[in-house]
A and B are shown apart, each in its own frame.
Chain A
């Protein structure tokens, strides 16, 4: 019976190692250690793209998480019916599909432009579509559900009994929220920010469709190289991306493991 237990336990780990880490190692071995005449230091246009990517990814991750946090508090405080409604609202975009949602934003934003609504005067030349603003807006829309489902993990471990206990001891609702509840959610909040930052760093679908080719991120450059068959340059750009994200992985791993140990005891 122990053999079966060991086999069952090893199957998922072996699959993850074989299916994910082996291809990554093969790719790294092929493009990093092979002879390469391309300079590792990115040129000025790549540096500009990296800066733009960093800017877009930072804003997307911070704003998505900031918006999702109070929504998660609402979910935590809400009755069962409204919890279900909120979960359904968060999952609805997942069913519709990424490309369809991007197209719908193109349709809605082009309609706003064509109707010449005066609010558009706030943005330069009444353009919303095919700008950095529209790319960030749509990416925030895409990542809010992700932030919600990550932060929800922390709230689901906090019971109302603690709030009630605080109230019994004389604390106000906000004191209990501020000192008992929110400190226990900051790790998941940071994990959410890091996850969305890492995901949006390699994004190219939304910048391509909503940015119109004028507001590319580093992911678009990698995709363009790949389309042209220039896998050397694509891999080099991807390697730069990977190296920039390594600290995130380390921090995320430590936060996730420590959070789980504290909450789940394992």
Chain B
């Protein structure tokens, strides 16, 4: 069973493996605690009781949580779709236009990456709420913007799938840009695009900062609802939601692997 590909000094390999194991445990244990807490939790965080599914019933059959989940899911799908399409267009355009276009793109992208989200939340509030525009539109805009750079990096990190000469050849032979996208780019990039969409969905679903700054009405997203409950409730509701999302993500991942197993040429 090969762990490390390259021949390196044995003690270095052992130290590296042990360190990676310890850090992996550090990252996994809180997530495992969330799953355990969802089944063994009581009304007080940190106090575990007997196995029960009462918290799952409290959340999954509660109308308010269902409304919040519907709101969060629809927002996440819409924002992730917008940002995924934008990032594909930006990636495709970067093949054609270099230098100034890419520098301009980076100047525009650097904001969402490095501006604290709290500042962007204030800006959205000043622009949308102050002008009586809907909260949903502010959240849609905000979530799309925050996901865009990350989705672009995901798509671009799979650059080796595509040789730009194929695109130039196709266009020189008369293909339109839509044909190039449809017949060359999307087939080669279906996995990164789906992955980018999934990551954008998760980022939007879990986004709390913009939600707390923009949402004033009772209709809120799931993270906002959990945040509002912090002062009076420490029950395992967040754990139930976290575990449910994790389970759905694993199922989607396995389904994706199954569907694209034969089409994906070893990627």
Bound-state Cα–Cα, A148 to B215, Å? 32
* From B31, B90, B101, contact of A96 by CB (8 A): B31
Q: Are A19 and B145 closer than 8 Å at their CB atoms?
A: yes
A12 to B33, Cβ gap below 8 A? no
Within 8 A of B (CB), among A213-252: 219, 222-223, 226, 231, 234-235, 238, 241-242, 245, 248-249, 252
Interface centre among B20, B30, B246 (most CB of A within 10 A): B30
Docked Cα-Cα span, A199 to B7, in Å, equals 38
- Comparing B49-57, B186-194, B222-230, the segment that makes contact with chain A is B222-230
Closest chain-A Cβ to B262's Cβ sits at a distance in Å of 19
Q: Is the Cβ of B114 less than 8 Å from the Cβ of A248?
A: yes
Instruction: Indicate with 1 or 0, residue by residue over A117-129, a CB within 8 angstroms of chain B CB atoms.
Output: 0000000000000
CB neighbours of A94 from chain B (8 A): 199, 202, 206
Q: Shortest beta-carbon distance, A215 to chain B, in Å?
A: 16
Contact of B90 among A12, A99, A234, A249 (CB under 8 A): A12
What distance in Å separates the Cβ of A166 from its nearest Cβ neighbour in chain B? Answer: 11
Instruction: Give chain A residues whose Cβ lies under 8 Å from the Cβ of B111.
Output: 16, 20-21, 24
- Structural contact, B89 and A205, CB atoms closer than 8 A: no
- B86 at the A/B interface (Cβ < 8 Å)? yes
Per-residue CB contact flags for chain B residues 124-143 toward chain A (1 = under 8 Å, else 0) read 11111010000000000110
| Contact present for B106 and A257 (CB under 8 Å) | yes
A1-34 to B contact mask, C-beta < 8 Å, 1/0: 1001100110111011101111110110011000
User: When chains A and B are docked, how far (Å) is the Cα of A23 from the Cα of B208?
Assistant: 19
**What is the CA–CA distance of A257 and B105 in the complex, to the nearest angstrom?**
11
User: Does the CB pair A13–B4 fall under 8 Å?
Assistant: no
Check B27 for interface membership: any CB of A closer than 8 A. Answer: yes
Kindly supply a per-residue 1/0 record for chain A positions 98-123, scoring 1 wherever the CB is within 8 Å of any chain B CB and 0 otherwise: 11110111111011001000000000
On whether A27 and B126 interact (CB within 8 A), knowing A9-B93, A173-B8, A266-B98, the answer reads yes
Which residues of A sit under 8 angstroms from B82, Cβ to Cβ?
A: 15
Selected from A11, A21, A235, A245, the residue in CB contact (under 8 A) with B86 is: A11
Alpha-carbon distance between A27 and B121 when the two chains are bound, in angstroms: 10
State whether A98 touches B119 (Cβ < 8 A): no
| Contact assessment for A1 and B6 in the assembled complex, using a CB-CB cutoff below 8 Å | no
B178 contacts the other chain (CB 8 A) = yes
CB within 8 Å of A: which B143-200 residues: 144-145, 148, 153, 157, 159, 171, 176-178, 199
Contacts A11-B89, A22-B127: A198 and B114 contacting too (C-beta < 8 A)?
yes
A238: B residues at CB distance < 8 A = 116, 118-119, 122
B33 touches A104 (CB 8 A): yes
| Interface membership of A49, Cβ < 8 A | no
Task: Please determine whether A98 and B206 come into contact, CB atoms closer than 8 angstroms.
Answer: yes
How long is the Cα–Cα vector from A145 to B150 in the complex, in angstroms?
13
Question: Which chain B residues numbered 73 to 102 have a C-beta less than 8 Å away from chain A?
Answer: 82, 86-87, 89-90, 92-94, 96-99, 101-102
Does A40 belong to the interface (CB within 8 Å)?
A: no
- Contact count band on B: 35 or more
Query: Contacts A103-B238, A173-B12 hold; do A108 and B30 have CB atoms under 8 A apart?
Result: yes
Given contacts A26-B127, A222-B118, A226-B122, contact A90 B27 (CB under 8 A): yes
Number of A-B contacts (CB under 8 A): 276
Q: Give the complex CA separation of A74 and B15 in angstroms.
A: 10
Q: Tell me which of A30, A89, A104, A222 has the highest count of chain B C-beta atoms within 10 A of its own C-beta.
A: A104
Which listed residue (B16, B101, B114, B242) contacts A194, Cβ 8 A?
B114
The answer for the CA separation of A204 and B104 in the assembled complex, in Å, is 31
Q: How many angstroms from the CA of A56 to the CA of B109 in the assembled complex?
A: 26
List chain A residues, Cβ under 8 A from B177.
Answer: 1, 4-5, 8
Main secondary structure of the interface of B (DSSP, over half): helix
On whether the beta carbons of B86 and A202 are closer than 8 Å, the reply is: no
Contacts of A205 in B (CB 8 A): 208-209, 227
Select B226's contact among A99, A156, A235, beta carbons within 8 Å.
A99
**Cβ distance A162 to chain B, nearest Cβ, rounded Å:** 11
Extra A-B contacts (17), CB below 8 Å, given A95-B246, A100-B242, A257-B103: A8-B92, A16-B145, A23-B120, A23-B123, A30-B130, A92-B246, A95-B202, A97-B223, A103-B34, A104-B34, A141-B27, A160-B5, A195-B113, A199-B116, A226-B122, A231-B125, A245-B115
Binding site for A on B (CB under 8 A): 2-9, 12, 16-17, 19-20, 23-24, 26-31, 33-34, 37, 45-46, 82, 86-87, 89-90, 92-94, 96-99, 101-120, 122-128, 130, 141-142, 144-145, 148, 153, 157, 159, 171, 176-178, 199, 202, 206, 208-209, 212-213, 223, 226-227, 230, 234, 238-239, 241-243, 245-246, 249-250
Could you show 12 A-B contacts with beta carbons less than 8 Å apart? A20-B145, A26-B127, A31-B126, A89-B27, A97-B206, A106-B45, A107-B45, A108-B46, A114-B46, A226-B125, A238-B116, A252-B113
